[in-house]
Amino acid sequence: MKFKDSIVRTSCRGCHGVCQVLVFLDDEGNPVKVTGDPESPTSFGYICPKGMAGPEIIHHPDRIVTPLRRTGPRGSGQWKAVSWDEALDEMAEVFDRIRTTPGPEYVALCQGTGRPYTEFTGRFIHAFRSPNFVSPGHNCFLPRNISSGLTVGWLPQPDLHGPAGTMPAALLVIGNNALEFGAADGLCSSSIRKAIRAAQEVIVVDPRRTQAAKQASHFLQIRPGTDCALLLAMLNVIVTEGTYDQEFVAQCCTGFSELAEHVKAFPPEWAEPITRVPADIIREAARAFARTKPGCVIWGNGMDLNLSAFQAGRAALILMAITGNLDVPGGMVRYVPPAGVRSKSPQVDKAILGMQFLPPGQKEKMIGAGRFPFAPGCHQPSFWDACVTGKPYRPQAAWLVGTNPLTTATRGDAIEAALRDHLEFTVVSDFFMTPTAELADLILPAAHWLEQDDVVYFHKVWCVLARKQIVQTGQVRDDRDVILELAHRLGLNDAFPWHDRNAYLEWLLEPSGMKFEEFAEKGILLGEMRYRKHETEGFPTPSGKVELVSSVMEKMGRPPLPVYTEPSISDAVKEYPYILMTGNKIMPFFHSEGRQIPSLRRLRPGPRVSVHPELAEARKFAEGDAVSVITPWGRSKFILHRDDGLQPDVVHAEHAWWFPEKPGPEHGWKESATSLLFGHEDFDPDSGAEPLKSSRCRLEPSG
């Protein structure tokens, strides 16, 4: 045992929230209980069921605790335990062979959502000289992140923690529901709750009456997929009524007159039939946001997973800018990271992706290169299609780190074919035998947050948290240690100069003069915030100003001012009468995780499709009925739930379900799969995002 105390203060990584928690140990040093840390300035004592389930997860009997090598045919469930050396030797041998012929781009690294491994995954595959770094980023967070880069030069973060002691007076919560399910993008629901309480005006834009909507001064119940139209109308009101921040616009923005001309065509009356939000309600919300300072935007996946994801992101950024809310106390800020810790946040340090290691000419070999000018890395749907079709070429090996794409991506059928029939060598790093892992050649057991030391510096840059290894279970290893070892075997020492992860963590802390143990004792380091940095530094965009008209988009031949795109199968109304929204996050589960954890599964025993009671009445669906959701691409079975917060023709199906208790290799993943309900025809032309929140379906009783 490293820590002899019976209670250890650490930080949770059950999601992106990074709550500070207290872990209670038994006499042998095993964690038995996790609670929130009431002294935490990031989470104020908050904890959710996923965080509490930490000990249950690490001790679960199905946990993979040793590397496994396939011994029978793929998916046969025949495995033998192998040593880490054997596993890493095999990976190094195969990756090296493919690197020589046909070339490094034939090896891909596919990761899931942002997790501690993200510090090394992109860096690894780029240092290996393959451009094929595959992630769900095109659908998640990165449309907002990349549009921020073009418009402002940095990612504006809501200043809910108020280092200056100023809380936002106006909040625009648009397509984000972390208040209900725990945390998203480094924002804990406890801080959102506090901010809602403190704000004078709370504007919620969501197709569903969420908890936040119930507390809002303005609830805009939007038709899914139409945020860009709504935001254009809000801009129209603010520009035509002259309630923008004239000084900020004059001094710090480019293209205001073009913007003013552009938004003339989009008054609230134009947006009303598109968004279903009455024009006067749009007008009032726009006025409230413009007059109430400072104002914050809490945005989310509701904006990302649509065909205008990128343009909606741009419109929201323009709103933040012209209302004078950039980098002011209580506004949308660029945090100053704590001094003394080397940066590892992609928002601060682009080098984290290791792009500098990709030699000239290799980027062009990325699958899907050029297809979507602002897609982050290799476009995930294009990657899986290439594995099946061989176009533009067929990748030979893939390392899937912390992802379960059969359940979380689209065209699960194609991914299954790729893993089973097309890829020559696949490695999966995970905690459990997921349907995706079942099809691998090699499985690597990953360390959980209770099993890793860390300097936590990802989504938030206003503070750095300590995470402490409390136990070691079997032979599980931190993904970064695995990447380091493999990188060294492949000669990638320039990109990975650290002997092991401990050396890496010490290197991060080196400028502070602290050793890890000392830092871990402190638990948290706070940055010293300065606001209005643009007054001396400008904005890191090509013009040095906020680009209302984006020069980068113009150069790439994309609309430099936001334009709205109608969800593409809107005309299929007859056959598919309902709007299908999928994958709104829920409290018990992090995507496909947690289905085997009794305390979590009890909270949500089966996959839900939620419909308005009126629709349920009309169709004679009772609570708990089995109902099939049918789209042009597939059908899936869910359990009916009535939710009067929805609009009568909007249906919500939960994503990422599988049933660990059902037999492998499928574990029932095809039964209730949103991953089988979408094709690969419709993408946001800028970011490649998929319309997972705004498709269409019909419903049928299911036997």
Q: Which residues in this chain contact Mo ion in the complex, by CB under 5 A?
A: 113, 140
Record the tokens describing residue 538, joined without a space.
């400008």
Ranked by CB distance to Mo ion, the top (closest) residue is 140
Asked if 469 touches ligand MGD (CB under 6 A), the answer is no
HSE-CB for 653 with a 13 A CA cutoff: 32
Rank residues 224 and 376 by Cβ distance to ligand MGD and give the closer one. 224
Instruction: Look up tokens 């080196």; give the residue.
Output: 510
The least distance separating Mo ion from the CB of residue 140, rounded to whole angstroms, comes to: 3
Whole-angstrom CA distances from 346 to 349, 612, 684 are 5, 40, 23
- Calpha distance 100→103 (Å, rounded): 5
If DSSP codes are grouped into helix, strand and coil, which group holds residue 476?
A: coil
Rank residues 51 and 156 by Cβ distance to ligand SF4 and give the closer one. 51
143 interacts with, out of ligand SF4, ligand MGD, Mo ion, none, CB within 5 to 8 A per kind: none
Asked if 448 touches ligand SF4 (CB under 6 A), the answer is no
Residue 337: cis peptide before it, omega within 30 degrees of 0: no
In the region spanning residues 65 to 104, those forming contacts with ligand MGD, defined by CB under 6 A, are: none
* Residue 40 near residue 17 (C-beta atoms within 8 A): no
Asked if 12 touches ligand SF4 (CB under 6 A), the answer is yes
Asked if 91 touches ligand SF4 (CB under 6 A), the answer is no
Q: Backbone phi, then psi, for 49, in 5-degree steps?
A: -60, -30
12 interacts with, out of ligand SF4, Mo ion, ligand MGD, none, CB within 5 to 8 A per kind: ligand SF4
Asked if 48 touches ligand SF4 (CB under 6 A), the answer is yes
47 interacts with, out of ligand SF4, Mo ion, ligand MGD, none, CB within 5 to 8 A per kind: ligand SF4
The least distance separating ligand MGD from the CB of residue 82, rounded to whole angstroms, comes to: 17
Q: Where are the beta strands (DSSP E) in 227-338?
A: 253-254, 295-299, 332-333
Asked if 592 touches ligand MGD (CB under 6 A), the answer is yes
Rank residues 141 and 621 by Cβ distance to ligand MGD and give the closer one. 141
The answer to whether the Cα torsion of 524, 528, 531, 533 is positive or negative is negative
Rank residues 12 and 639 by Cβ distance to ligand SF4 and give the closer one. 12
CA of residue 43 relative to chain centroid, distance:
20
CA-nearest of 203, 158, 263 to 549 is: 263
- Calpha distance 541→152 (Å, rounded): 6
**Crossing angle of the two packed helices 479-489 and 84-100, in degrees rounded to 10:** 50
* Total residue length of the chain: 703
* Residue 127 near residue 495 (C-beta atoms within 8 A): yes
Asked if 470 touches ligand SF4 (CB under 6 A), the answer is no
According to CB under 6 A, which one of 11, 12, 16, 107 is a site residue for ligand MGD?
A: 16
The least distance separating ligand MGD from the CB of residue 246, rounded to whole angstroms, comes to: 29
The least distance separating Mo ion from the CB of residue 175, rounded to whole angstroms, comes to: 12
Which helix (H) or strand (E) element contains residue 171?
Answer: strand 170-174
DSSP letter assigned to residue 14: S
- What residues does 640 pair with on adjacent strands? 609
- Calpha distance 89→84 (Å, rounded): 8
Asked if 22 touches ligand SF4 (CB under 6 A), the answer is no
Asked if 116 touches ligand SF4 (CB under 6 A), the answer is no
Asked if 696 touches ligand MGD (CB under 6 A), the answer is no
The widest CA-to-CA distance across the chain, in whole angstroms, is 70
According to CB under 6 A, which one of 17, 225, 337, 634 is a site residue for ligand SF4?
A: 17
The least distance separating Mo ion from the CB of residue 142, rounded to whole angstroms, comes to: 9
According to CB under 6 A, which one of 25, 47, 87, 285 is a site residue for ligand SF4?
A: 47
List contacts with ligand SF4 (CB under 6 A). Answer: 12, 14-15, 17-19, 47-48, 50-51, 182-183
List contacts with ligand MGD (CB under 6 A). Answer: 15-16, 112-113, 115, 117, 136, 139-141, 174-178, 181-184, 205-208, 210, 222, 224-225, 227, 300-303, 305-306, 401-405, 408, 429-432, 434, 446, 479, 581-585, 587, 589-593, 655-656, 674, 692-694
